[in-house]
Amino acid sequence: MVSLLADGLVSKGHEVTVCTVSNSTTKANIYKVFDQEMKGYLDKPPSNFLNAALSHTLASYLEVAGKDFDLIHDHTWKEGLCCAAFLKEVPVVHTLYGPFDEENKAF
């Protein structure tokens, strides 16, 4: 889904950077935090997953901080919202994924 959106924006003449944990194929610029594929950590115990997710999200936001980005479209979980709160100079669109239960309603 991210690569389709990025490729569509690139084909319309926009410069797009995708921060990813996987071996993505896209027409956009790619920024990878980790040297190896980290997508497999999503199926690991919560502590491993959280370490990888938090490291990737924080490093990605640090990478774009102070650079000339017009917009960030964040596809992470709650950690992306936390990082975005400190990045005041760039608007952030955050795609939320379910479950949309009572615990997650606040987000």
pLDDT tens per residue, range 9-27: 999 999 998 887 777 789 9
Instruction: Collect all residues with Cβ–Cβ distance below 8 Å to 60 and sequence separation of at least 6.
Output: 19, 31, 33, 83
Cβ atoms of 60 and 19 within 8 Å: the answer is yes
Instruction: Delimit the domains of the chain by residue range.
Output: 2-94
Q: Letter for the amino acid at 57? A: T
Nearest residue to 106 (alpha-carbon basis) of 84, 83, 81: 81
74-92 per-position pLDDT tens digit:
887 777 777 777 777 778 8
Q: Please give the model's pTM, rounded to 2 decimal places.
A: 0.64
